[in-house]
Structure 1
Amino acid sequence: MSAEERRESVIRAAITEFARGGYSGTSTEAIAKRVGVSQPYLFRLFPNKQAMFLAAVERCLADTRKVFAEAAEGLEGDEAVKAMAVAYQRLIVDDPDKLQMQMQTYAAVASAEASGDHELGDAARAAWLKMWDDVHLALGADVKETTTFLAYGMLVNTLAALGFPAGHRVWSGFYDEARPTA
């Protein structure tokens, strides 16, 4: 396996481990074990744990952006919104680590910012801003539509992370196609 392929496997493992344990609760040893490499080898690929976390954050949000872009391709307006919502719902059902990684990102940034460390927040905000920009363009550069779509997305994240089942009344305000099915 090349160094780039190994780096990719570390990022995938980091998403899984950080999604489950959060930034503070995840050891680089756990990531190394999941990948099947030594801990010192991880540090040849990434300078530190924070760099691994940021790579996982950036990948998670890039994957989400890709899901949105593919869903909205060739669509406009309400059709694009519905297609993106359905695609996101599938993403969080099919790959729950992506949802958990997003939630862990917000918690890690809040914790770091509270302690005066802005590096993590700056990088996470830059990655999230790319997602906002992509969604904004996919929705015709309509600020209200972009804000509404992402606000619903954050509500979906919260309800899914809290474990509300698909048929629960809290989902009643969503498009039928965008309600979780698992």
Structure 2
Amino acid sequence: MARMSADERRESVIRAAVHEFARGGFHGTSTEAIAKRVGVSQPYLFRLFPNKPAIFLAAAERCLHETREVLAAAAEGLEGQEATHAMANAYARLITEDPDKLQMQLQMYVTIAAAEAAGDHELGELVRKGWMELWDTVHIPLGGDVNETTTFMAYGMLINNLAAMGFPPGHRVWEGLFPAARVQGRAGRPGE
């Protein structure tokens, strides 16, 4: 069996980090757990990344990047309400089919809030940059309308929270949200 290159190992570490940080958060996840999941030693892990915050940032960037790709692909060639519904449906599928994406997003917000409160603004700046790229990905298909973009993103954050709390499909809390959002209750339910 061929040995993995450093780039392939780095990619494996990022995938493992998304999974581990999504479940344990920044402070609850050890670099040992990430290294073990990948099948490398901790010293090797730190040859690929200088420190734990760098691993977390790579995982956060990956999560935001993949979300942007899904939304951009869904909205390609569409505008207005067609784009809104296509992106909402695509996002619903993304966090339903890959709950690590939802959990990683939530962990990013908690980690940044804690870092900011402690006076560390570097991680927050980097993640905010990625989030603004996500905003722009949504903003353009919605015709550059700030109100439409704000509404879309606000619905997305509400969906994240409701899904994370495990509201089941069909629960009255989903009424009034985009049709796709009603499936979101599955994403945050334990054991699914």
TM-score, length-scaled by structure 2: 0.93
Give how far 1:175 is off: 2.1
The equivalent residue for 1:15 is: 18
Give how far 1:180 is off: 1.3
The equivalent residue for 2:29 is: 26
Report 1:32-43 matches (<5 A): 32-43=35-46
Report 1:67-82 matches (<5 A): 67-82=70-85
The Cα RMSD (Å) is 0.9
Q: Aligned to 1:138, what secondary structure does the other structure show?
A: coil
Q: Comparing both chains, which one has the higher relative contact order based on Cα–Cα distances under 8 Å and sequence gaps of 6 or more?
A: 1
Kept in 2, the 8 Å contact 1:113–1:121? The answer is yes
1:109 aligns to 2:115 (yes or no): no
Partner Cα separation in structure 1 for residue 182 and residue 76 of structure 2: 21
Partner Cα separation in structure 1 for residue 62 and residue 153 of structure 2: 18
Partner Cα separation in structure 2 for residue 176 and residue 132 of structure 1: 22
Structure 2: gaps spanning 5 or more residues = 187-192
The equivalent residue for 2:53 is: 50
1:92 aligns to 2:95 (yes or no): yes
Give how far 1:14 is off: 0.2
The residue type paired with residue 169 of structure 1 is R
Give how far 1:129 is off: 0.8
The equivalent residue for 2:127 is: 124
Q: Which shifted more, 131-140 or 13-22?
A: 131-140
Give how far 1:121 is off: 0.6
Partner Cα separation in structure 1 for residue 41 and residue 6 of structure 2: 14
Kept in 2, the 8 Å contact 1:23–1:104? The answer is yes
Kept in 2, the 8 Å contact 1:14–1:56? The answer is yes
Q: Aligned to 2:140, what secondary structure does the other structure show?
A: helix
Give how far 1:173 is off: 1.1
Give how far 1:9 is off: 0.7
Give how far 1:139 is off: 1.4
Q: Which shifted more, 133-142 or 105-114?
A: 133-142
Kept in 2, the 8 Å contact 1:82–1:178? The answer is no
After TM superposition, which residue ranges in structure 1, 4 or more long, deviate above 2 angstroms? none
Partner Cα separation in structure 1 for residue 153 and residue 114 of structure 2: 23
The residue type paired with residue 143 of structure 1 is V
Give how far 1:137 is off: 1.1
Choose from 170, 173, 176 the match for 2:176.
173
Aligned residues: 182
Deviations 1:86-130 (A, max 9, x none): 000000110000000000000000000001011111111111111
Deviations 1:140-167 (A, max 9, x none): 1111111000000000000001111111
Deviations 1:21-50 (A, max 9, x none): 000000000000001111111101100000
